[in-house]
Amino acid sequence: MELQLLHETPNLAVFYDPANQWLFVDWCGDLTLALVQDNCVALAQRLLDVRYARILNSNVGVTSMAPNVPAWLAREFLPYLRQVGVQQVAWVYSPNLRVRCYTDAALYSPDAPAVHVFDDLESAVAWLRAVPRLPAVAMAA
């Protein structure tokens, strides 16, 4: 898989996968609310520059997450993804049980795009490759 690095910080790497036409978002380390917000703003800028309908989001490298992160993701960031045209997200759980629970809490948002969770990256990739791409949705001006 030939990935193009779009953005990198100590806790986040964002790649474009041209073969699959999706963003690969790879999180790692200890995630505080401020850190997640800063990185999500950078990701949001990428999503404004170019519309991506599908995201492969990996939390495999996430070792901890602040308890206030899920509510912010559910209330602020996941609805934004839908607004900018993201239609499908394959989300790979962290092996950390507490982070997995926080992830489930964040993803329980009716305003989020279609998010499917996986225990491993290979299953997430297989699903995202197999799921039919949805028709493009016109964005409101």
Q: For 10-69, what is the HEC assignment?
A: CCEEEEEECCCCEEEEEEEEEECHHHHHHHHHHHHHHHHHCCCCEEEEEEEEEEEECCCH
Instruction: For residue 131, give the nearest of 55, 44, 29 by alpha carbon.
Output: 55
Two tokens at 135? Answer: 């028709």
Class of domain 4-130: alpha beta
pTM: 0.89
Write the DSSP symbol of residue 95.
Answer: S
In tens digits, what is the pLDDT along the chain, a chain of 141 residues?
Answer: 599 999 999 999 999 999 999 999 999 999 999 999 999 999 998 898 888 999 999 999 999 999 999 999 999 999 999 899 999 999 999 999 999 999 998 887 777 788 999 999 999 999 999 988 765 544 444
Domains of the chain, residue spans: 4-130
Element (DSSP H or E) covering residue 82: helix 78-83
Residues paired with 54 in a beta bridge = 88
The tokens describing 31, both together, are 């995630």
Distance between CA atoms of 76 and 61, rounded to whole angstroms? 23
